[in-house]
Structure 1
């Protein structure tokens, strides 16, 4: 057993003493003699292959594991992290553990990767309990490899950023699953809107929640830190007669002209807090339109089969990929534009930081010299150099409206989509 004070002094973790003090004694009392099981060469290799890391990564990860296991303070710390994150009954708060990155220095990338890999037994147990198919497990774990490969491409080291630890907790605690091209979790709907369905025509109209401020362009006031001098405020009232408020166009902007939806023809279909399939789009593969449609058709069947106690109402996503400007910037035939046309877009407060991070690995120092080797890169650069800004957006797709290729929201409400 190693004393906390020694670890704090050796790794310069004084400011994190209170975090580490929690259950330190308990974790050190069960510290395995002779090395940590998940840092042994054979286990590290098996973990690498389980998440589909390339074979070239196995030896470097094994060496990183050996170094951690042979350094007393680091060994005690990685064991404590593993115990705190995965040897507990319920998913814990991971966020304090991401704050150690600066003090861990060169050891940080491999430290966080190996902590994540140490959670695989927890994931297997949770998947076994629900009978999750092996193919889905493998596809889900692959995300760890994709991010580790990206880190290696940028830094020449096999590891991950500390901030990704929280993302991988979704995978390792059995909450996120990759079904074909896309990933899903059961989560509360975050959109500040109410969606209503016409009981006769199946038309869907979303109304903004009461009291939101919008710019003249229908985007949230403050998007990209741009504020209107006179923003307008949404109004929403719902009673036994019906709902009156400001609609949100399926194209992703709020409309100042109010509409009334009488209760004898319209019923509420979605609200903030309702359970939805929170969708995510893994990188490293083309966003093929047909593959996305196949994934979204398969996902409801999967979650109804393996999570029958958690009914859901819709798909939902917030992402830089859902910038409502993109259909005007990209060719109509592009996969992304066709994908967005199947969805009901909604505006959210945000900026273009993630766009540049994911497309250019950060904001280029000189936009005029930034790479223009893809249609998306050229479209973004041309838009920004002309004075525009990129932003993130949100979407929903009610599960009953999943009819891939029909663009049900754009064709179902022509008057609404035409509103400025």
Structure 2
């Protein structure tokens, strides 16, 4: 896998691609960065983020880490489309960095480390990450034990969250993770019950939410505002109204409503 092929595969923006291809780093320096990342990620990020232009450097490094991960994907027999779909997050977060900081780079480095360590995979519309459940819990008559490995679900930015694509992703996950019981957990603003106050009952978000048994709600989270308005403000009147969701959410907040985050478990019916 060459860097140019990788950029093409994740459909990286042309400007970001030219930036990557022009980035200068001695191979010995790259190998030292990679060694440091693998040995101690905390001190690695602390060191790199203390340098000027760290966002552009992290874009280069994560792209190289992803290219290096290709061989392990092949060894494990993971399809190439899963490889490119998973690492398309580099494209997504490089564009978010451009929007927020004016440069193509990476700021969500703590998140992307999961991808290059092969701890997270995108299967269709959704991303899945095996992890140990944090406590004993009974859901729909089924006991989930503390430290039992389940599949955490993440929803990347992008295409509509249609029921058809969501169902397809869960089916792909059940095949991909054959050794893990099909128990899916999610921690997201999309699972906040209060969204029913601003969305149509047939909205894709609420259809997704209704798949899950909500077991915890965080009323203090500002994740919903960050995702809906691309920022958080102390006064809701400062928020924009470019989309119908923004208009509904802003009106709801101005009326004293809250937007938080929910945690839920989804266990598909046996087939």
Is TM > 0.5 for Structure 1 vs Structure 2?
A: yes
Structure 1 position 318 matched with structure 2 position 265: no
Runs of 4+ with >4 A deviation: none
Structure 1 position 277 matched with structure 2 position 166: no
Alpha-carbon distance between aligned partners in 1 of 2:4 and 2:68, rounded to the nearest angstrom = 18
Residue 367 of structure 1 deviates from its aligned partner by 2.3
Alpha-carbon distance between aligned partners in 2 of 1:100 and 1:275, rounded to the nearest angstrom = 33
C-alpha contact (below 8 Å) 1:348/1:392 kept by paired residues? yes
3-state SS of 2:37 partner? helix
Residue 69 of structure 1 deviates from its aligned partner by 4.3
Counterpart residue number, 2:105: 159
Residue 79 of structure 1 deviates from its aligned partner by 4.1
Which of 360, 365, 371 aligns to 2:229? It is: 360
C-alpha contact (below 8 Å) 2:56/2:106 kept by paired residues? yes
1:187-239 Cα shifts (integer Å, max 9, x gaps): 1123x45115xxxxxxx15xxxxxxxxxxxxxxxxxxxxxxxxxxxxxxxxxx
3-state SS of 1:347 partner? strand
Structure 1 position 379 matched with structure 2 position 248: yes
Residue 394 of structure 1 deviates from its aligned partner by 0.7
1:152-201 Cα shifts (integer Å, max 9, x gaps): 2333311011xx223222211222111110010111123x45115xxxxx
Q: Which runs of 5+ in 2 are unaligned?
A: none
Counterpart residue number, 1:117: 63
Alpha-carbon distance between aligned partners in 1 of 2:270 and 2:242, rounded to the nearest angstrom = 34
Counterpart residue number, 1:189: 133
Q: Which runs of 5+ in 1 are unaligned?
A: 1-41, 87-91, 197-203, 206-267, 305-309, 404-420
Alpha-carbon distance between aligned partners in 1 of 2:35 and 2:260, rounded to the nearest angstrom = 39
Shift of the 58–102 alpha-carbon distance from structure 1 to 2, 3 Å rule, reads closer
Which of 108, 119, 123 aligns to 1:179? It is: 123
C-alpha contact (below 8 Å) 1:322/1:392 kept by paired residues? yes
Aligned pairs for 1:270-309 (under 5 A) are 270-304=144-178
- Structure 1, 348-357 or 276-285: larger mean CA deviation: 348-357
Q: Give the TM-score normalised by the residue count of structure 2.
A: 0.89
C-alpha contact (below 8 Å) 1:181/1:292 kept by paired residues? yes
1:305-360 Cα shifts (integer Å, max 9, x gaps): xxxxx422401111122112112331111110111112211114462322222222
3-state SS of 2:137 partner? strand
Larger radius of gyration: 1
1:56-92 Cα shifts (integer Å, max 9, x gaps): 32212223x12x449xxxx84x542212225xxxxx5
Counterpart residue number, 1:85: 37
Residue 100 of structure 1 deviates from its aligned partner by 3.5
C-alpha contact (below 8 Å) 1:126/1:173 kept by paired residues? no
Residue 139 of structure 1 deviates from its aligned partner by 0.9
Shift of the 390–58 alpha-carbon distance from structure 1 to 2, 3 Å rule, reads same
Alpha-carbon distance between aligned partners in 2 of 1:359 and 1:142, rounded to the nearest angstrom = 21
Shift of the 384–193 alpha-carbon distance from structure 1 to 2, 3 Å rule, reads farther
Residue 125 of structure 1 deviates from its aligned partner by 2.2
Alpha-carbon distance between aligned partners in 1 of 2:217 and 2:200, rounded to the nearest angstrom = 24
Alpha-carbon distance between aligned partners in 1 of 2:174 and 2:61, rounded to the nearest angstrom = 31
Alpha-carbon distance between aligned partners in 1 of 2:173 and 2:15, rounded to the nearest angstrom = 33
3-state SS of 1:119 partner? helix
Alpha-carbon distance between aligned partners in 1 of 2:195 and 2:26, rounded to the nearest angstrom = 48
C-alpha contact (below 8 Å) 1:330/1:375 kept by paired residues? no
Residue 54 of structure 1 deviates from its aligned partner by 2.1
Shift of the 398–156 alpha-carbon distance from structure 1 to 2, 3 Å rule, reads same
Q: Give the TM-score normalised by the residue count of structure 1.
A: 0.59
Structure 1 position 132 matched with structure 2 position 78: yes
Residue 52 of structure 1 deviates from its aligned partner by 2.3
Structure 1 position 168 matched with structure 2 position 112: yes
Residue 283 of structure 1 deviates from its aligned partner by 0.5
Alpha-carbon distance between aligned partners in 2 of 1:295 and 1:61, rounded to the nearest angstrom = 31
C-alpha contact (below 8 Å) 2:136/2:143 kept by paired residues? no
3-state SS of 1:381 partner? helix
Number of equivalent positions: 271
Structure 1 position 97 matched with structure 2 position 20: no
Alpha-carbon distance between aligned partners in 1 of 2:17 and 2:95, rounded to the nearest angstrom = 12
